[in-house]
Amino acid sequence: MTSAVSGSVSPRAPAVPWLEELDILIRARYPMLYLVSWEEHRVDAILSELARSHGKALFHWSIIRGLRNMGGSRTATLPEETRNPIDALAAIEKLNEPALVVLKDFHPFLEDKGVVRALRELSHFLKSTFTTVILLSPTLSIPVELEKELSVVDVPLPGYNDLMQLLREIITVVRKGNKATIDLSRDHADQLIKAALGLTLAEAENAFAKAIAHDGKLGPDDIKRIQDEKRQVIRKNGLLEYYPPDETLGSVGGLQNLKAWLGQRTAAFGERARQFGLPEPRGLLLLGVQGCGKSLTAKAISAHWNLPLLRLDMGRIFSGLIGSSEENLRKAIRVAESVAPVVLWVDEIEKGLSGVGASSSGDSGVSARVFGTLLTWLQEKTAPVFVVATANRIDGLPPEVLRKGRFDEIFFIDLPEQAERREIFRIHLSRRKREPGHYDLEALASLTEGFSGAEIEQAVIAGLYEAFGENAELGQQHLVHSIRETFPLSVTMRDEIARLRVWAKGRTRPASPSGPPEGLQGGAAPGSRR
């Protein structure tokens, strides 16, 4: 059994910022705090250590067990029945010693006006004591009456050091029991930990245990299993989708300027780039004609940089519950930051922000608040989350999105030119197990002037269907026929594409070295394709 991380368990890493903040708030005698976290057991251990270090008693409350003395108290005499929230708050007021009191899953009771009033009065009373009440919940829900009484602390998911410590502890247990084989080099252990980022400690422990149970060992082959486990966890929140990095930049035809820009930043998330003085790339805004490769490029970036890809659907962010839309976005951001470095794909961002202009009357300002939260995060984020936002319609984008500093660059993806169309045909024919050299790609590229990449792909598929129906191999004539049967978007939406192209000139960077495709300068549409 070999392992580069199988030494004795090292001490915990120095206090992280959120823990330092929590410690300061307790020492400053803040009466009430609100901790947002799913990890009850992890937070319990942290608060237990804080209570001990501050010389305070520790009490827990839950609707099932009521108020309980968890240690450190020598004088507290609690009523027998404290499961009722108001009774519990009354008992807390009668404590005659410094304490930390943790109220678990208390947020549903904040809809009760009597409980809210009792909390306010308790907060005023505790200001002259050394007791702090801590609401611990996986979601943030604060009534307006308590906004000035509560200080919120977001508890992030475990970081690299936390997960490395967990892995060392598991390895220690496995070695003592001789229950499995550990075969991890330092690099493989590093990759395993990065694969587990975004999981809670309990989820990571389960994932490591599952990997060991699969074949009785923990090694490099388990990295993908941990990633698959993380994919399942990310799916549960319903706000983000996890995409495996199965596309490459080779799957994207053309866009040489964009590819060159990405190539320069391939190693930009590594330590060598930090030592060189470079910040992590912030993100890209991809504008352009529908079907020209914006979404495919987002998928290819993650594979090219070997980073996970998360897709944020703005439609899922908005909810009918007041306050939940903003909280949904905050949750999605926390998950994305917890698995960083990561590529976060915000598809068709203009649709999610379409109500910003009229939100003050249409949705009580929800869209504007969500928009403001997103903009602030894009501007201020420090976690290595590379945002790729795509948009088809510039008239649906608020001008604040286009301001420098929120994205590193804004690229405009136009309809492909002749050489790019030839490359797109080559890609799609190869993908469908056809030898591109058997076809006149130059002629096909000329025939598809004004076609988008998606329309070229559909032309290849339509040709395959036609050949399949004839019980024949795909020939040049099948492709030509399917092309002539297609009316491209550049015909049906000629004026809109022309406006988009005029707007992009001078405001964005072209993703391809050349200008608009032949015959489309000035917005002129190609002739009939029949």
Give 162-198 pLDDT, tens digit per residue: 888 888 888 888 777 666 777 777 778 887 888 888 7
Predicted pLDDT at 158 = 85
Over residues 79-105, the mean pLDDT reads 94
Whole-angstrom distance, CA of residue 260 vs CA of residue 255:
9
Amino acid, single-letter form, for residue 515: G
Predicted pLDDT at 38 = 87
Tokens of 480: 């030509």
217: pLDDT confidence band, cut at 50, 70 and 90?
A: confident
Q: Are 329 and 370 in contact (CB under 8 A)?
A: yes
87-90: list long-range contacts, CB under 8 Å, 24+ apart.
88/61, 89/115, 89/118, 89/119, 89/122, 90/118
Query: What region, left, alpha or beta, does residue 3 occupy, with left being phi > 0 and alpha being psi -120 to 50 degrees?
Result: beta
Whole-angstrom distance, CA of residue 287 vs CA of residue 409:
11
**Is residue 61's pLDDT more than 80?**
yes
Summary count for the chain: helices (H), strands (E): 22, 16
**Is residue 91's pLDDT more than 70?**
yes
What is the three-class DSSP state of 261? helix
Whole-angstrom distance, CA of residue 166 vs CA of residue 202:
10
- What's the whole-number average pLDDT of the chain? 82
Amino acid, single-letter form, for residue 62: S
Over residues 293-297, the mean pLDDT reads 83
Cα angle for residues 290, 345, 254 (degrees, 5° grid): 50
Cα angle for residues 105, 111, 113 (degrees, 5° grid): 125
Structural domains in the chain plus CATH codes? 17-154 (3.40.50.300), 158-233 (1.10.8.60), 249-396 (3.40.50.300), 414-530 (1.10.8.60)
Hunting for tokens 């080779």 — which residue is that?
A: 250
**Is residue 524's pLDDT more than 60?**
no
What lies within 8 Å, CB to CB, of 42 at 6+ separation is 158, 200, 201, 202
513: number of CA atoms within 13 Å, CB side?
A: 8
At 394-430, the pLDDT tens digits run 766 777 777 777 888 888 888 888 988 999 999 999 9
Whole-angstrom distance, CA of residue 176 vs CA of residue 129:
48
At 233-262, the pLDDT tens digits run 777 767 888 877 677 777 787 788 888 888
At 469-520, the pLDDT tens digits run 999 999 999 999 999 998 887 888 888 888 888 888 877 888 888 654 444 4
Higher pLDDT, 432 or 194: 432
Hunting for tokens 């698959």 — which residue is that?
A: 228
pTM: 0.68
Whole-angstrom distance, CA of residue 352 vs CA of residue 392:
12
Over residues 200-229, the mean pLDDT reads 83
- Helix-helix angle 453-469:418-431, to 10 degrees: 40
Predicted pLDDT at 473 = 94
Predicted pLDDT at 353 = 66
**Whats the size of the chain, residue-wise?**
530
Predicted pLDDT at 7 = 41
What is the three-class DSSP state of 293? coil
Burial 445-466 (b: 16+ CB within 10 A, else e): bebbbbbbbbbbbbbbebbbeb
Higher pLDDT, 135 or 279: 135
Whole-angstrom distance, CA of residue 344 vs CA of residue 485:
37
224-233: list long-range contacts, CB under 8 Å, 24+ apart.
224/195, 226/192, 226/195, 226/196, 227/195, 227/308, 229/199, 229/203, 230/195, 230/196, 230/197, 230/198, 230/199, 230/308, 230/339, 233/198, 233/199, 233/203
Predicted pLDDT at 17 = 82
How far from 15 is each of 50, 374, 524, CA to CA, in Å? 12, 28, 63
**Is residue 43's pLDDT more than 70?**
yes
Over residues 3-32, the mean pLDDT reads 69
Predicted pLDDT at 497 = 83
Q: How many CB atoms lie within 10 A of CB 77?
A: 10
At 117-146, the pLDDT tens digits run 999 999 999 999 999 999 999 888 899 999
Pairing verdict, β 66-71 and 2-3: unpaired
At 339-353, the pLDDT tens digits run 778 889 988 887 766
Starting at the edge strand that comes first in sequence, how are the strands of the sheet with 151-154 ordered?
Answer: 66-71, 57-62, 99-104, 132-137, 32-36, 151-154
Higher pLDDT, 10 or 77: 77
Predicted pLDDT at 496 = 82
Q: How many CB atoms lie within 10 A of CB 257?
A: 17
Predicted pLDDT at 313 = 79
Whole-angstrom distance, CA of residue 333 vs CA of residue 348:
18
**Is residue 23's pLDDT more than 90?**
yes
Query: What region, left, alpha or beta, does residue 324 occupy, with left being phi > 0 and alpha being psi -120 to 50 degrees?
Result: alpha
Starting at the edge strand that comes first in sequence, how are the strands of the sheet with 181-184 ordered?
Answer: 2-3, 181-184, 217-218
Burial 144-157 (b: 16+ CB within 10 A, else e): eebeebbbebebbb
What is the three-class DSSP state of 243? strand
Percent of the chain with pLDDT over 90: 34
